[in-house]
């Protein structure tokens, strides 16, 4: 059986509807990205404010602003290292889970 031929008009209408749908999805995506950007900017500003407050507190408890800067820099390095270690642990757990899955699969093949 052959497909019935569609008129050029129906093809144009279908193409236009698909284009309209794609544009609507794109607009929603851009709007969501804009909302997320505003939220991220707000969070960044909040973190900056917290960092300034923390730096002020550290400076009050150290003997000089230089000591406070060194302490804050060390804290930042330790936080970055902590994030890196967490990421490595997560990747390690994922690798172990994959190996366990393979072992179970091989055991079931016996």
Instruction: Give every CB contact of residue 41 below 8 A, 6+ residues apart in sequence.
Output: none
Instruction: Give every CB contact of residue 58 below 8 A, 6+ residues apart in sequence.
Output: 68, 71, 72
pLDDT of residue 65 exceeding 90, the answer is: no
Tally of CB atoms within 10 A around 110: 4
**Domain spans of the chain?**
9-61, 64-110
Here the tokens at position 98 are: 């994959």
**Residue 91: left (phi > 0), alpha (psi -120 to 50), or beta?**
alpha
pLDDT of residue 1 exceeding 60, the answer is: no
pLDDT of 55? 75
pTM here? 0.42
pLDDT of residue 110 exceeding 80, the answer is: no
User: How far does Cα 101 stand from its chain's mean position?
Assistant: 27
């Amino acid at each position: 059986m052959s497909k019935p031929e569609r008129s050029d008009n129906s093809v144009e209408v279908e193409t236009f509807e698909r284009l309209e749908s794609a544009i609507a999805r794109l607009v929603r995506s851009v709007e969501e990205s804009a909302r997320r950007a505003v939220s991220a900017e707000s969070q960044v500003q909040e973190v900056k404010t917290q960092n300034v407050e923390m730096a002020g507190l550290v400076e009050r408890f150290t003997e000089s602003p230089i000591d406070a800067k060194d302490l804050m820099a060390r804290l930042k390095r330790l936080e970055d290292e902590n994030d890196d270690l967490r990421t490595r642990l997560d990747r390690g757990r994922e690798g172990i889970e994959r190996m366990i899955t393979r072992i179970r699969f091989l055991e079931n093949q016996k």
